[in-house]
Amino acid sequence: MPKLNNFKQLSGNVLLGLGGAIFALIIGEIALRIIGIAYPSFYQADPHRGHALIPGISGWWQHEGKGWVSVNKDGLRDKNYSKEKPENTLRIAVIGDSFAEAIQVNAEDTFWSIMENQLPQCQRFENKTIEVINFGVGDYGTTQEYMTLKHHVSQYSPDLVVLAVFTGNDIINNSKTLSPDDRFSPFLVKKEGKYVLDLSFKETETYKWRNSFTRKAIFSTINNSRILQLINETRIAIKQSRQLLGTQTETESQDVLQYLDFTPELYKNSDPNWQEAWNTTEALIKLIQQETQSINSELLVVTLSNPAQVYPDADYREQYFNQAGVNEPFYPDQRIANLAKQQGFEVLTLAPLFQSYADNHNIFLHGFENTIMGSGHWNESGHKLAGEIISEKICTTEN
């Protein structure tokens, strides 16, 4: 009888402890939701592009800037649009990388939202409905943007395709040689003198794991629990030796330009691997031009600004480029502009315009208070300026 009583007491204590733990987890989950702490995983494996946004997911991005991210039913960081284009509608599709995805700011502050609001004011589009649909996904190179156009954008019958080229990493991302070994994405590669698509990423263990039912189930569970998200984010932060919430700030001892993701080879093009990366990039843009023509759409290529090009201190900026042996800070932009002249598509070069604006207004167009001002992605000011300039270009360009 005493043993039975001891067993009952032990069972009661276990149940009490379990109940207390469950109660604590519930309180912790509620508290994290009230505070607004969330670290969802926004991406899933994709057979055409390596990765893509998860349809229907939403949450805060807080590592760089702070943006509420909501992905629509078709996997786009945008509101829902019908695939069938409504009558009397000018439909514009934006394809690009993290600058187009723009999770660092709220959707209403992105350049594509500003375009959708500005273009109806253009006399040329009077009485037309304007739809600007964002297909941008972080860490995309031009090959993935081409695949996005071919397999997804074409379903929406756009009148205009805007290709946002961030030369800061797109050229590297387009090269299988220059890209990190663990990058799983399609590549355009040269075989026997001809460019062909290389989809071998689908055979890698990394892709197979990320595309597995087990991995999808694990991250689906994590995405539905703020506590599990916090634990997972802490694990990643420890692995990468970084702080949560991107709280790194500038100090007097830091040379801010070391955070501008500056790659001197991009501006010199003297290395054979870089020459091939540039040739591949140009071949990809030509493929995108051909694809837009095949779906009866126009193409506008917009080259974005690199942080070092538009840092709002001309003397500091010039000294930095000189130390790196770079004679022409706008070489990447000029190269793509030259391609546009050869191929006959429209191009808009933002970097010189951004540099002039940043200098004249002494304003940072890249960077956030919780990172390093002048570095990284566009902030709200950068997006606003880009949206206005692109809108003006579209408004004044005759087809």
Over the stretch 153-210, which tens digit does the pLDDT of each residue have?
999 999 999 999 999 999 999 999 998 877 889 999 999 889 999 999 998 888 888 8
Per-residue pLDDT at 210? 83
Burial of 269 (0-12, 13-18, 19+ CB in 10 A): middle
Q: What is the pLDDT of residue 54?
A: 94
> Both 172 and 25 in a single domain?
no
Grade residue 34 by pLDDT with cuts at 50, 70 and 90.
low
Share of the chain above pLDDT 70, in %: 80
Give 231's contacts (C-beta < 8 A, 6+ positions apart). none
Q: Do both 169 and 272 map to the same domain?
A: yes
326 and 262 fall within a common domain:
yes
Residue 240: pLDDT over 70: no
pLDDT at 206: 84
Question: CATH number, domain at 186?
Answer: 3.40.50.1110
- Residue 142 within a domain: yes
Structure tokens at 17: 């402890």
Q: How many CA atoms lie within 13 A of 111 on its CB side?
A: 32
Residues 163 and 79 both lie in one domain: yes
The reply to whether 3 and 151 lie within a common domain is no
pLDDT value of residue 252: 37
- pLDDT score at 321: 87
Q: What is the pTM of this model?
A: 0.86
Range of the domain at 7: 1-35
Q: What is the pLDDT of residues 86-143, one digit of tens each?
A: 999 999 999 999 999 999 999 999 999 999 999 999 988 988 999 999 999 999 999 9
d(CA 292, CA 298): 6
Residues 16 and 106 in one domain: no
Q: Does any domain span residue 226?
A: no
Mean pLDDT of 30-56: 80
List, for residues 319-372, the tens digit of each pLDDT value.
888 888 888 999 999 999 999 999 999 999 999 999 999 999 999 999 999 898
Q: How confident is the model at residue 296 (pLDDT cuts 50, 70, 90)?
A: very high
Mean pLDDT of 36-52: 84
Which band of pLDDT confidence, cut at 50, 70 and 90, is reported for residue 253?
very low
Q: Would you say residue 221 lies in a domain?
A: no
Q: Give mean pLDDT, residues 293-306.
A: 97
Domain count for the chain, please give it. Answer: 2
* One domain, residues 30 and 78: no
- Give residue 246's pLDDT band: very low, low, confident or very high (50, 70, 90): very low
Residue 22 above 90 pLDDT?
no
With b meaning 16 or more CB within 10 Å and e meaning fewer, what string describes 217-244? eebeebbebbbbbbebbeeeeeeeeeee
**Average pLDDT, integer, range 273-284:** 96
More confident residue, 211 or 70: 70
Integer Cα distance of 81 and 327 in angstroms: 45
User: What is the structure's pLDDT at 228?
Assistant: 60
Question: Looking at the structure, do residues 31 and 137 belong to the same domain, yes or no?
Answer: no
Whether the per-residue pLDDT at 378 is higher than 90: the answer is yes
